[in-house]
Structure 1
Amino acid sequence: MSVAVEKLELKELDKTLLKKNESSPKPQSKYERIIQPCVAELVGTMFFVFIGCVSVIENVEAAGRLQPALAHGLAVAVLVACMAEISGSHFNPPFTIAIWLCGGLQLTMVVPYLISQIIGGVLGAAMSKVMTSHKNYMNATGAAFAVLKSDEQLGKVVFAEMAMTCLVTMVVLMGAVNGKSKTPLVPFMAGCTVIINILAGGDVSGTCLNPARAFGPALIANHWSYHWVYWVGPIGGGLVAAALVRLLLGDEKTRVIMK
């Protein structure tokens, strides 16, 4: 009788162990942890910049800012939804820096992400040059940002880039990183924020909000006039957004003061 009971107990133990093994997730390979997210950032940034540049180069005059606004915003929404589970769908250096500062990314992945985004921006800009007509490409300066013409505009343009990048970065941080306000609607929210930013500030600064979006077209078209503005403004805005979340808006886990 005792032997039968022991066998039964062993069988139950084996079943329990099998269930535990089945339920425990398989550890990710090095490719999935390190390489694949960088590939996703490169490909995602590449297609975002490609679509964005083509929408500017081939913009129909009657559409005004609406065409590039919708193209950029919808591209963000689609690509974020597509790549979110692989890399987090940053596609923007200020996003990567802000997400790291708020605890949503390991430090070891920051530089690989930034390099991937810059390379993706260059490839996307090159693709837009191949696809569009030479005349339209030259008329649009390859979709490089050419709104800023004089030093008198500098203050307003830098402020515009900071404020608008702060807004979209804050949306990303609150929707994807902050535990209290996380939501699956992040692709929709980020895309809509890009659209409203371009509609509101397109004529002021060009609404770059992304150094990778600025660098690719500038390199391919060799247009560097006031290019630094589109690094300083967006990165500054991203840092302000990270500070807001870390100090004031974040939940107890994210916030570093007044817990």
Structure 2
Amino acid sequence: MPMIYVDRITRRIAVGNREEATHPAALKAALAEFISTLIFVFAGQGSGMAFNKITHSSFTTPSGLIAAAIAHAFGLFVAVAISANISGGHVNPAVTFGACLGGHITILRGLLYWIAQLLGSVVACLLLKFVTNGMTTTAFGLSSGLNVWNGFVMEIVLTFGLVYTVYATALDSKKGELGIIAPLAIGLIVGANILVGGAFDGASMNPAVSFGPAVVSWSWDNHWIYWAGPLIGSALAAIIYELFFMNHTHEQLPTADY
């Protein structure tokens, strides 16, 4: 029985072809992911830097968490909405990974998205450093009293909720009018998760969001958590939704419709 489930998943994974890497539509989609990720990271990281400048305190305070949750929820809502009709509005390598596992995007296009998302995050953090006259973006890290496995599992659970929401509201062909609120639902689950995990490990849920600050501040302590956790959480959400809730009896929608 487990082998049947594995086969059902692997049959949906599409590699793509070399021409796709240079196809104008794929390049436009990658550019959309770059811009959306830049906007999202600039708003999210910038809100934390602004809070620190105004209050001289960490965003892990109650008011700081609320500010971070609101900024990330609104920022992601906009970032997904403005790129949804071009690239699908992933804005997150973990979301792209989950979509690849379900066959909603090819592996080659997914790699283009990853490059664009990571570059968008780095550029956003460099811009923040410039416009704030040298303030450094803060790399994600664990709060005192937590070990790496606490943070690792936290990222798995938080990202599972995010990618499951993406599947239910954006990727499922049965979503109907629910797809209209997909950007809002995705933004809200990220904001809610920040209120839960922000005080523990920063609640990244997004390898690109963690990568940009790590590059600019050159701080890589426990950085693997913010890749392994989100990717595993995304894979679990994609596999569970694909196996138990996704209906593949109808023809899949084009990528631009996700």
Which position in structure 1 is the counterpart of 2:167?
173
Counterpart residue number, 1:24: none
| Superposition TM-score, scaled by structure 2 size | 0.80
- Tell me, what secondary structure is at the counterpart of 1:196? helix
The CA distance in 1 between the partners of 2:133 and 2:153, in whole Å, is 34
Aligned to 1:143: 138
- The amino acid of 2:45's aligned partner reads C
Aligned-partner SS, 1:89 = coil
- Which residue is 1:43 aligned to? 35
Amino acid at match of 1:162: I
- Does structure 1 conserve the Cα–Cα contact (< 8 Å) formed by 2:142 and 2:151? no
Q: Give the whole-Å Cα distance in 2 for the aligned partners of 1:164 and 1:233.
A: 9
The amino acid of 1:211's aligned partner reads P
| Aligned-partner Cα distance in 2 for 1:71–1:225 | 25
- Choose 1 or 2 for highest CA Rg: 1
TM, length-normalised to structure 1: 0.79
Contact 1:117 1:212 (8 Å CA) reproduced: yes
Q: Which structure dedicates a bigger proportion of its chain to helix? A: 1
Corresponding residue number in structure 2 for 1:122 = 122
Structure-2 separation of matches of 1:79 and 1:117: 12
Change (3 A) 1:112 1:37: same
What aligned pairs does 1:94-109 form with structure 2 within 5 A after superposition?
Answer: 94-109=94-109
Q: List alignment gaps of at least 5 residues for structure 2.
A: 1-21, 251-258
Q: Which runs of 4+ in 1 moved over 3 A?
A: none
Structure 2: how far apart are the matches of 1:158 and 1:80? 26
Structure 2 distance, partners of 1:253, 1:144, is 44
Shift, 1:101, TM fit: 1.4
C-alpha contact 1:161 1:207 (8 A) present in aligned 2: yes
1:149 and 1:228 map into 2 onto residues whose CA distance is: 18
Percent identity over the alignment?
A: 30
Render the CA deviation track for 1:75-98: whole Å, top value 9, x for unaligned.
Answer: 000111111101111111110011
Partner of 1:69: 69
Q: What is the RMSD computed on CA atoms of the aligned residues?
A: 1.9
Contact 2:33–2:91 at 8 Å: present in 1 too?
yes
| Structure 1 residues not aligned, in runs of 5+ | 1-28, 255-259
Preserved CA contact (<8 Å) 2:48 2:64: no
Q: Distance in 1 between matches of 2:165 and 2:131?
A: 33
**How is 1:106-255 mapped onto 2 (pairs within 5 angstroms)?**
106-134=106-134, 137-138=135-136, 142-148=137-143, 153-182=147-176, 183-253=179-249
The size of the alignment, in residue pairs, is: 219
The amino acid across from 2:138 in the alignment is A
